[in-house]
Structure 1
Amino acid sequence: MKIKHPIIIGIDTHKATHVAVAIDTQGTRLAALSIPANSKGYLELERWSCGLGHVQAFGIEGTGSYSAGLSRCLLAQGHHFVEVTRPNRQLRYTQGKTDSLDAEGAARSVLPGQANSRPKTQTGSSEMIRHLKIVRDTAVKLRSQAMVTLKTLIINAPADLREVLDQIKGKIGLIRHIAAFRPGDILNTLASAKAAMRALARRWLLLHEEILGHDKELERLVIKRAPDLMQSHGIATMTVAEMLILVGDDPARIRPEAAFAKHCGVCPIPASSGKTHRFRLNRGGNRQANAALYRVVIVRMRSHEPTLAYVKKTHERW
């Protein structure tokens, strides 16, 4: 029986093709392969890798983008893979850049343990929440743009029309009133203004209904996944959704609190030199999760007794 030696596979991913390079545990390059970025190519890569030896790990860059399909395929086959960061720019400058070199660099970063982050599985409820959150955020942005444009048209509308609209109280009432306009044939500026306003108002109403539908589905998924967190003070559906998107479907992926703080960009960053010892604010991490934590803190600083007591104690200390 032929003994299979341990190997590591590095993969450089692109939209149409993926390039893989195999190295042994001593760092010796063994072979390379280019495959199409589809199911047939993924299976070909898996068979090729297993034929070279015992695969200890796959090092893949961009498991959340071009390599998402490959990552799901390897996970379904029971393989271990890690997220690889972007290639070192200094090495790129001295050694050059090709897809094969990038794949080899991905494999070599796994070898000494430099790349050891566990990627998200992208197959559970967190991925479902991420999908809905993306389309909801897009709809919210478009709705805001429609409202800004509508307000501009109202300000610049003919005086008679503007005076009528100024008398209507409430945003929803105003939009529904405008959506019911009947401008008729566009023969003057009054008719054109009404037609443009009606189009924007109807667009706003459609987007509003879409957002409400996404909110309902997101709330259902979030309550099912993290019911206890939803009961916490100052935490709403979208806040929990951002946290679940960050963590993924495997809670053990981010173990200590310090790792979670680093992912959210709320841990202090050392900025010391010589006899000077200091820290600076973290500008990295997941900015959406960072904003969600900020909203929680702001709410709790207003109405959460333990938080108010902590803030008071901190101020007294300084």
Structure 2
Amino acid sequence: MSTTTVDIAKSGDVVVGIDTHKYVHVGAVFDTAAGLLSTISVPADSDGFVQLLSWAESFGHPIAFGIEGTGSYGGALTSFVRRRGYRVIEVARPDRRIRRLIGKSDTIDAQNAAKAVMAGFATAEPKTADGTVEMIRQLKVAHDTAVKARATTMVTLKAMLVHAPEALRSETAGKTQIMLARHCAALIVEYLNSPEDSIRVTLASLARRWLTLDHEAAQLHEHIEGLVKTTAPQLVQSYGIGADTAAEILIVFGDNPERIKSEAALAKLAGISPIPASSGTTTGKYRINHGGHRQLNAAIYRTVIVRMRFREPTKIYVARRTAEGKAKRDIIRCLKRYVIREVYHLVNNPVTSADAI
């Protein structure tokens, strides 16, 4: 029995997959007809980017670059490739089942990135991260961490206050957080001679830390609010959407909101769209989407709750749906879908956006 080897002619169009890391990027180039052509490893700097692009172009015309980690280690490379006029597609790492079957290495990951692009599994356009929305994202990271640290500090301060002398506990009873922090920050101890002295020093230190974090969070919130009102004033004008919620919405859209093609795509991204759960004779069933961007989902939920309590059209809608037999949680899901539709049009076409429920 004889076998014949058929050489597949190259098409000239190539797809490049790249696995990004802190110091090294690994690439794999595939011809759309002939398959894998070569792999490469380059430094994660400007010289490495030039080397990687020249290497890819030597095999043909790159029609797309599939890059892992476009929002982290691959951010600089993504911007570099985009500035050269090439299409960049964001690639998620393969699921664990595939990794268990074929193994894990940087070269394999780069090949999988290219294959995901060619198979149509990876289609997401990454954020450009070059405008005011990226500024908002960076400030919000600092703000959220400051708020979290502030809350942790207050919990610790109140826990340590239990060990304070009775007189000090009586003085601070019933005070608000800011009043408690100011009172404890003013405590003065000249000498450490007893646990009563050390607890006063501890409380003063925690209180000053809380006041510093509170001031920092307030300043960052002011910066975020200013950028949000400048970038998308129509969002904060919508009922129930404040600066924090608007910031979360803009961060999901990015500086290139056109990358989200439809309101349905945004709903799926936010984890608001239902997931089909039909099998066999059980048809027409759906389950809750527990995926998506959970911070955006929570922001939309807060908007819905505010409208249910204070906005008259929403209250009328809730009353009507309740009379139809809908449960409260189902009504909230419907309202979240309405809000995500409104948000999509407010960001992409604020002039013609529909009235909110």
TM-score bracket for the superposition, by shorter chain length: over 0.9
Gaps of at least 5 residues in structure 1 are none
Q: Quick check: 2:30–2:114 contact (8 Å CA) kept in 1?
A: yes
Report how many aligned residue pairs link the two structures.
315
- CA offsets per residue over residues 161-199 of structure 1, 9 Å max, x none? 212222x64332221121111111111122111100000
Q: After superposing the two structures, state which structure 1 stretch, 149-158 or 53-62, moved more.
A: 149-158
Aligned pairs for 1:3-14 within 5 A = 5-14=12-21
For 2:28 and 2:224, the matched residues in 1 are separated by: 41
- Normalising by structure 2, report the TM-score: 0.85
Matched, 1:215 2:215: no
3-state SS in 1 of match to 2:147? helix
For 1:4 and 1:262, the matched residues in 2 are separated by: 36
Aligned pairs for 1:144-159 within 5 A = 144-159=151-166
Q: Quick check: 1:110–1:116 contact (8 Å CA) kept in 2?
A: yes
For 1:63 and 1:236, the matched residues in 2 are separated by: 29
Report the counterpart of residue 7 of structure 2 in structure 1. none
Matched, 1:299 2:313: no
Report the counterpart of residue 113 of structure 1 in structure 2. 120
For residues 94 and 200 of structure 1, do their structure 2 counterparts lie closer, same or farther at Cα, with a shift above 3 Å needed? closer
- The aligned amino acid for 1:221 is L
For 2:324 and 2:107, the matched residues in 1 are separated by: 57
Q: Quick check: 1:17–1:35 contact (8 Å CA) kept in 2?
A: yes
Report the counterpart of residue 34 of structure 1 in structure 2. 41
- The aligned amino acid for 2:120 is G
3-state SS in 2 of match to 1:156? coil
Aligned pairs for 1:44-59 within 5 A = 44-59=51-66
Matched, 1:224 2:230: yes
Q: Quick check: 2:91–2:113 contact (8 Å CA) kept in 1?
A: yes
User: Which of 1 and 2 has higher RCO (CA within 8 Å, sep 6+)?
Assistant: 1
- Normalising by structure 1, report the TM-score: 0.95
For 1:111 and 1:169, the matched residues in 2 are separated by: 62
For 2:279 and 2:203, the matched residues in 1 are separated by: 60
Matched, 1:100 2:107: yes
3-state SS in 2 of match to 1:274? coil
- The aligned amino acid for 1:195 is V
- The aligned amino acid for 2:42 is I
Matched, 1:18 2:29: no
Q: Quick check: 2:11–2:32 contact (8 Å CA) kept in 1?
A: no
3-state SS in 2 of match to 1:52? coil
Report the counterpart of residue 161 of structure 1 in structure 2. 168
- The aligned amino acid for 1:77 is R
Report the counterpart of residue 188 of structure 2 in structure 1. 182
For 1:113 and 1:275, the matched residues in 2 are separated by: 31
Q: Quick check: 1:11–1:58 contact (8 Å CA) kept in 2?
A: yes
- The aligned amino acid for 1:299 is V
3-state SS in 1 of match to 2:119? coil
Q: Quick check: 2:68–2:91 contact (8 Å CA) kept in 1?
A: yes
Report the counterpart of residue 124 of structure 1 in structure 2. 131
Matched, 1:285 2:295: no
Matched, 1:84 2:96: no
Q: State the 4+ residue runs in structure 1 displaced beyond 4 angstroms.
A: none
Matched, 1:200 2:210: no
Gaps of at least 5 residues in structure 2 are 1-9, 326-357
Q: Tell me the percent identity.
A: 46
For residues 194 and 91 of structure 1, do their structure 2 counterparts lie closer, same or farther at Cα, with a shift above 3 Å needed? closer
For 1:51 and 1:119, the matched residues in 2 are separated by: 25
3-state SS in 1 of match to 2:126? coil
For residues 177 and 97 of structure 1, do their structure 2 counterparts lie closer, same or farther at Cα, with a shift above 3 Å needed? closer
3-state SS in 2 of match to 1:211? helix
Matched, 1:70 2:74: no
